[in-house]
Structure 1
Amino acid sequence: MNHTKSRVRLTSFLLLVCTTLSAQTAVIYGKITQADTQMPLADVAVSADNGRTGTSSDKEGNYRIAVKSNRVNLTFHCVGCKTETFKATIAQGVEFQHDVVMSSTTVKLNEVTVVGRNEVRRMRESAMPVSVMTFKELQGTASSIDEVLARSAGITVRSTGGVGSASRLSVRGLEGKRLGLFVDETSMGQLTNFVTLNDIPTDMIERIEVYKGIVPYKFGGSALGGAVNVVTKEYPPMYLDASYECGSFNTHRANAVLKRTNQRLGLQFGVGGLFTYSDNSYLMTLHNLDGRRVRRNHDAYRKAVFGGSLKATKWWFDELKLEALYSNTRQEIQGIDTDIREAFNHSSGFATELTLKREQFFADALALDFNLAYSYAGYGLSDKAMKRYDWDGTAYPPTSPYGGEQGAYPADGHNRSHDLISKLNLNYTLDAHHSFNLNVYEAYTRLLPKDELMEKALGFKANFNSRMNSVTTGLSYDLMLFDNRFQSAFIVKDYFFTSKTRYLPNFYMSNAENINLHRHYIGWNESMRYRLTHHLMVKASFSSEVRTPTSEELIGNGYSVLASTHLQPERVKSINLGTLYRRFHEQNGLLEAELNLFYSRLKDMIRYAPDVVPAFYHYTNFGEVRTYGIEVDVKYDILPWLYAYANCTYQDLRDVRRWMPESNVENPTYNKRIPNIPYLLGNGGVEYHRENLFGAKGSNTRLLLDVSYIHQYFYDFEMSVNQDRKIPTSFTLDAGLEHSMMNNRWTFSLKVKNLTNRDVVSELNRPLPGRSFAIKVRYLLK
């Protein structure tokens, strides 16, 4: 309290001095960022007039200082960074902008090495098992977030084709809807129906955080296998970032973002958009048709997203932000077993979000973080063709007299959905050792399916209006002891959800049953971290978590997935033990090595299965699955101009049901490996970088090589060593060359995917692209 009063007195005094001398002073302002992470630096000491005048940067790195002399001499000092100076002659009464970039350094005090901490390091050294991908991984050979994530330890991304194709992300074998997807700690929720993580250009991303097994309490929700949080960049007062990429298979990507800040008013305006198009017309091998080679002829993808934002920092809240975006997508459906020529998926949607943040919310120790998001989407499948074709070009009539290429019935979906997500996060800091957090997360979905053509062909109504509401309340306690060598985070959660829909019990009954569900569950988790030495720490986490079904799992999607009224939430008990070694070498850079052992037992695993109603699917509880594994991750700045990384993961998922459901019959797949999930995978890469390699000042050149290995695995239960239901081993190489000039004003990139043109198959018999090329031009003004 005395410290607070002292700061108030000091601030009042400085304001008085500035007011008295306003007619004789100049004002210098700007933003301070860290060179290696491009993140804003808070609490940087800024001094002028030989130390007689001073201030410090705020949490967003902004500073503002008044000086008396025409000859300005500013000093910027921050522990762990090189001290910077600025000298200039500025006329009285002028406001002058000067942004500062500070480089990290190492300072020795009484034989103790102190390295400047940033947000990335803080995340990696937290008690939770987490991987963090920085700009090094983001600005490499990857073109999308999926490609960045696929190179990380314990993460697998399996797609069905090229650009825009459906993909599934798994962390330690737990995949799909078990993972929480967040952007700046805000859940994407049902937004993933028309906006995906891949829609965010990698140039706009500060870092990607991947939490394994445990989801941070401040995120909210009921994700089970972990979470992916994409953190977008903080922008200087003026920022323009535009790029265009052209690649193989007639692929085009364009995106741009413009941010403008009025520091006097504390307002930031932003607009941006992206456009993606690809024919995806690569050659593929049809393994289901004796290895026939054909060109994909109906897989075009087109997507456009536009949005805008307004952020205020001086309207009582530390941050008040309003964002809105519109998205439109059209995706053709590629045939594998047959030559599909007309069917396609379509979607369009609008979303808006309000964010409110305040560090001192009616009390010095209480912080508020509130989000409210609403989205509206229209989407569906169009499958009305009156002819079907095989790969020889032979035409056949459709199975239904009303048409349809894919299945037994046609489709002309015009479904609508309304989604509302709110999150309240209150954090109370008792003292330097104890803090508490309350998180309340609510998600509401209203689904309005409409497909008159399909119901006409079926002869009865199969889809019904539905709604679902879930509320997850979490209370956490953070503890720090022994000069912060020990950290602990304990979380207890309450899960409650309701749903209302109508359900068709079987194909022979046209009378639907009304279903109303109300369910309630409790879960908890604990994470701990202890620093053994300055460079070495150990971590442990334990959890007994619950994942409530998503709206699609429980009430369907309106055109292909029916309601699953008897679906039980998934429950998991897990353990993670890990160790992290980090050492900063003054001559070279950072060495980081991490080892994790993990074990989990998942009950009532939810899986996708065919329904008794033809052409429809539903979700069902599978039983129990046991998982254990190990992952190793190493990153090293070998030389000042050479960086390398490598990781390897082994994960073993087994069916541990001894008996078939509701019977005394032995389970034939007991202790068999869960199919269609890789169990041995690894990644590695090197990066060569040089400044001013060709003599031009302000330029930087990077040469990159990334390799990825996935061992062969079965896409059905391995009942015999001789069965051929295997997805073959994948070994791919990607290469890239990047050259920036004029201090990153212009950047030119060349990327080569699958350099050796290997045949790669994923998701059963889905062939992935062979070798492809892309060139990219980026313009950055800030």
Structure 2
Amino acid sequence: MGRSFLAAPGLCLALMMGGLARAEEAPAPEGEVFTVPTVEVRETAAPEPPDAASQRDPSGALTVIETADFGGAAKDAAEVLSTSAGVVVQDSGGYGQSKNLVVRGASSNGTLVLLDGIPLNGAGGIADLSRVPLALVERFEVLRGGVGARYGSGGLGGVVNVITRRPDAAARVAGEATYGSWDTALGWLSATGPVLGGEGLVLLHGGRSSGDFPFLFDTSPALPGDALEERRRTNNDARGAGGMLRLRHPLGEHFEVDVLGELSLDERGLAGTATNPIPDARQGNGRGSASVRLMGELGSVRGSARAWFRRDRLSLSNGPQALQGTQAQRVGGVELEARTLLGGWHGVSAVLTVSGEDVSGVEEATVGTTRPSRGQASIMVMDELVLAGGRLLLAPSLRVERAGSYTLLSPKVGATLTLPAGLELRANAGQSHRAPSFLELYIRQGLLLPNAALRPERVLYADVAVVHRTERSLASVGGFYSLYEDLIAYELFPPFAAKPYNFAAASVAGLEAEGEWRPYPWVAGALSYTLLVSRNLRDDPRYYLKELPYRPRHKLSARMSGGPRWLTGRVEVMAQSVQYVNRTEEAELPGRTFVHAGLSSSFGRAPELTLSVELKNVFDAHAEDLDGYPLPGRSAYVTLAAAFGGPPPTPPKPRTDSP
């Protein structure tokens, strides 16, 4: 463990002694529960759709994070998600640069990321969080553990469902503008209200940053203790813009239709690592997605029918020849989902999904066409058995899936037992798969070669957790074990290229603790901690029983906020221990601790205005991520938010561990 990781024990212990709390959907304490002031009003929660994580996996390790709880403190989606237990963000450094998720030790392509149920994982199987504008997001559903039975291929470590903002029946206009270090400017503007007998929302967003922050560089790493040289990050700029249109309309008394359209465009420099900078490589991205969902009840059956489509375009220019070209991916499908209660003691759910995808490659594909494609179909059945007078819930499920030429079987069983004294015990066990992605199977990109003979990756997993709740605190502590098999990794392919192979197996075990504490209406605290121990199995003897690269053993997030509406202060500590960057454990990234602080003041009601000042990385800690990407040092931001109209603000729901 790096020494910097030990810098925050005082705050952590204070929060833990006050009562760890991993909040579930429990009754809120009397009076308005304090949160960071926000001008964006949230309406009374509507019934959750059948595909909500709490409905699809009633016993799973689930955290729901409301973005309103962060006010203007968070600047991107990765910053919010990094506060969840079991989640590690891999950061290329700076606003708009690539940010990927590692959940419970699974690779970035082993975590599904969905936008209102539409998959965002690209042709390589990885979803880039920098392309999820925080302005769109109402909440994140983070479901940890294998989710193949619930969500299908790709969910080895978990799934993150990004739930976008919903329209409101009350007319309201809101917006936010931020300016800060390195010429960073962010903003969004939304309008919602009644439209043609229903509700509508339109939202526009944009941002840019030069990204030219200073960092410390070791010019002679072979000489320990020599002076570091300050350099400035170049070709690290980013800019983007987009919008979302969402409509909800009732159809009679029992049905509702929800239409969503989303478009985003962004461009960024690819700066390279500190030791191998790339002065001119550029990446442009464009995404358009649309979905139509019909939800409602028919007799005793509650369900939904949905159709969706997404197109992603990625363009690489300048830089080395291997980093040039254009790729476009199209994904579309339909999904039917239904739930019904039988006999008053068990409920049956079923999901039928049919989808297809194709992609154009940077170079000619090995399958003889420049646009290979494949279809995918699956059916999932789940039963929820209520036993022991309602104290025990058993939820077995099974998904059978055909992904291209692969047939995948993903079973799972979950259980929830209600105990005395406000305690609850949850357990899950099952199997999930990840079919090889298009890039791994078909597409040659520069020096990366495809391999059509790859087998799907597989995980066998189990977890158990204990949850305790009071009126003002909630806590969850649990352990998990995952066995990953047939892992896909790129290896050297003579003379100069790299090619993916199924190479081995790995085990990951750990501990997750997450909670929330609200002793008074004007004080709130939250904490999450992850212990993760990984081992390389059945591999080359040089790597046997070594830790997996880029898997820090310890990760901590702690937040505390307090004060009246007119002046609210907050402090946050984000820390993680040392992590290895190769399989021999010979190279490592030091542990790091970042401290963030901020003040907000809200005043007025019509309009309501909030002025926030944020100081990120207060102590100017210098750190790197991945294999040498510098992270920003100290930075400052000023945010002004305003809202006109709408109902009075409602108390926010705390993050939740399960339904």
Q: What is the TM-score normalised by the length of structure 1?
A: 0.70
**Aligned mates of 2:420, 2:444 — CA distance in 1:** 52
What's the counterpart of residue 6 of structure 1? none
* 1:676-695 equivalences in 2 (<5 Å): 676-691=550-565
Mapped contact 2:109–2:126 kept (Cα < 8 A): no
- What's the CA shift string for 1:181-201, capped at 9, x where partnerless? 123344334499999555555
Q: Hey, what does 1:142 align to over in structure 2?
A: 74
Alpha-carbon deviation of 1:468? Answer: 2.2
Runs (4+) of structure 1 exceeding 6 A deviation are: 78-82, 99-103, 119-125, 191-195, 460-463
1:327–1:558 CA distance, 2 compared to 1 (3 A): farther
**Partner residue, 2:489:** 607
**Which of these residues, 339, 342, 347, is aligned with residue 427 of structure 1?**
339
374, 378, 382: which one aligns with 2:317 = 382
Alignment of 1:264-663 (within 5 A): 266-287=197-218, 290=221, 291-314=228-251, 318-335=255-272, 336-360=274-298, 364-383=299-318, 405-406=319-320, 409=321, 412-449=324-361, 464-498=370-404, 518-533=405-420, 535-556=422-443, 561-584=448-471, 590-609=472-491, 611-612=493-494, 614=496, 617-657=498-538, 660=540
State the distance in 2 between where 1:204 and 1:346 align: 20
Select the residue among 76, 83, 105 that pairs with 1:173. Answer: 105
**For the aligned residues, what is the CA RMSD?**
3.5
Instruction: For 1:685, give the aligned amino acid.
Output: R
Kindly report which structure 2 residues correspond to 1:67-106, keeping only aligned pairs within 5 A, or say none: none
The yes-or-no answer on 1:261 pairing with 2:148 is no
Partners of 1:627 and 1:653 within 8 A in 2: yes
Distance 1:777-1:217 versus aligned 2 partners, 3 A rule: farther
Whether contact under 8 Å (2:622, 2:631) holds in the other structure is: yes
Which of 619-628 and 412-421 deviates more?
Answer: 412-421
Select the residue among 569, 579, 602 that pairs with 1:740.
Answer: 602
Q: CA, structure 1 residues 239+192, in 2 after alignment: closer, same or farther (shift >3 Å)?
A: farther
Q: Answer whether contact 2:167 2:246 (CA < 8 A) is retained.
A: no
SS in 2 for 1:414: strand
Cα deviation, 1:451-495, whole Å, max 9, x if unaligned, reads 69xx9xxxx999943112222321111112234321121111112
| CA distance 1:341–1:547, change in 2 (3 Å) | closer
Aligned to 2:638: 775
1:249 to 182, 185, 202: 182
Secondary structure, aligned partner of 1:143 = coil
- Separation of aligned partners in 2, 1:483 and 1:716: 52
Whose radius of gyration is greater, 1 or 2? Answer: 1
Deviations 1:211-263 (A, max 9, x none): 1114386645541211112233444321322111111111111112212214x
CA distance in 1, matches of 2:458, 2:422: 36
- Relative to 1, partners in 2 of residues 1:120 and 1:751: Cα closer, same or farther, differing over 3 Å? farther
- The answer for unaligned runs of 5 or more in structure 2 is 1-24, 32-40, 46-50, 222-227, 647-659
CA distance in 2: counterparts of 1:741 and 1:312, whole angstroms: 34
Whole-angstrom CA distance in 1 between matches of 2:124 and 2:609: 32
1:247–1:289 Cα change, 3 Å = farther
User: Following TM superposition, by how much is the alpha carbon of 1:123 offset from its aligned partner in structure 2, in angstroms?
Assistant: 7.9
Provide the residue aligned with 1:161 in structure 2. 93
For 2:486 and 2:573, locate their aligned partners in 1 and report how far apart those are by CA, in whole Å. 36
Seen in structure 2, the aligned counterparts of structure 1 residues 728 and 679 have a Cα distance that, compared at 3 Å, is same
Q: 1:485-525: per-residue Cα shift (whole Å, max 9, x none)?
A: 21121111112122xxxxxxxxxxxxxxxxxxx22121201
Contact in 1 for aligned 2:397/2:412 (Cα 8 Å):
yes
Aligned CA distance change for structure 1 residues 565 and 100 (closer, same or farther; 3 Å):
closer
Residues 14-57 of structure 1, C-alpha deviations (whole Å, 9 max, x = no match): xxxxxxxxxxxxxxxxxxxxxxxxxx99xxxxxxxxxxxxxxxx
Percent of aligned pairs with the same amino acid: 19
How far off is 1:591 after superposition? 0.8
Q: C-alpha displacement at 1:277, in angstroms?
A: 0.7
Give ranges in structure 1 of 5+ residues lacking alignment.
1-39, 42-77, 83-98, 104-118, 384-404, 499-517, 585-589, 661-666, 692-699
Distance change (3 Å), C-alpha of 1:191 and 1:739 = farther
CA shift for structure 1 position 414: 3.2
Provide the secondary structure at the position in 2 that maps to 1:260. strand
SS at 2:563's partner residue? Answer: strand
Would the alpha carbon gap of residues 203 and 412 (structure 1) be closer, same or farther in structure 2, given more than 3 Å must change? closer
What SS does the aligned partner of 1:670 have?
A: coil
Distance 1:216 1:447, change over 3 A: closer
> What is the distance in 1 between the residues matched to 2:126 and 2:174?
24
**For the residues of structure 2 that align with 1:736 and 1:464, how far apart are their CA atoms?**
51
Measure how far apart 1:120 and its partner are: 11
* CA distance in 2: counterparts of 1:154 and 1:466, whole angstroms: 35
Which deviations, in whole Å up to 9, do the C-alpha atoms of 1:75-133 show, x marking residues without a partner?
xxx99989xxxxxxxxxxxxxxxx99999xxxxxxxxxxxxxxx999789942111222
Contact 1:271–1:309 (Cα < 8 Å) also in 2: yes
1:619-657 deviation line (CA, Å, top 9, x unaligned)? 332311011111222321133322222222111110111
Which amino acid is the alignment partner of residue 482 of structure 2?
S
How far apart, CA to CA, are the structure 1 residues paired with 2:254 and 2:178? 39
CA distance, structure 1, for counterparts of residue 453 and residue 54 of structure 2 = 43
Question: C-alpha distance in 1, partners of 2:348/2:127?
Answer: 34
Q: Do the aligned partners of 1:124 and 1:131 also contact (CA within 8 Å) in 2?
A: no
Q: Is residue 740–residue 746 contact of structure 1 (8 Å, CA) maintained in 2? A: yes
Tell me the amino acid that sits aligned with residue 730 of structure 1.
R
Question: Secondary structure of 2:510's partner?
Answer: strand
1:698-777 alignment, distance < 5 Å: 700-718=566-584, 723=586, 725-743=587-605, 745-777=608-640
Q: Normalized against structure 2, the TM-score is what?
A: 0.83
For 2:515, the aligned partner's letter is V
* 1:301-338 Cα deviation digits (max 9, x unpaired): 11111232332212687221222232222111114334
Q: How far is 1:341 from its partner? A: 2.6
Aligned-pair CA distance for 1:555: 3.0
Superposed displacement of residue 411, structure 1: 5.4
Deviation at 1:355, TM superposition (A): 1.3
Residue 530 of structure 1: how far off its partner (Å): 0.5
The 2-side partners of 1:222 and 1:315 are apart by 38
Instruction: Give CA-to-partner distance per residue, 1:279-309, whole Å, 9 cap, x none.
Output: 1000123347654421112111111112323
- Aligned partner of residue 223 in structure 1, secondary structure: coil
Code of the aligned partner of 1:597? G
CA contact (8 A) 1:447 1:558 kept: no
Residue 736 of structure 1 and its aligned partner are, at CA, apart by 1.4
How far is the alpha carbon of 1:681 from its aligned partner?
Answer: 1.5
Q: Which amino acid aligns with 1:258?
A: A
User: In the alignment, is the contact (CA less than 8 A) between 1:678 and 1:713 conserved in 2?
Assistant: yes
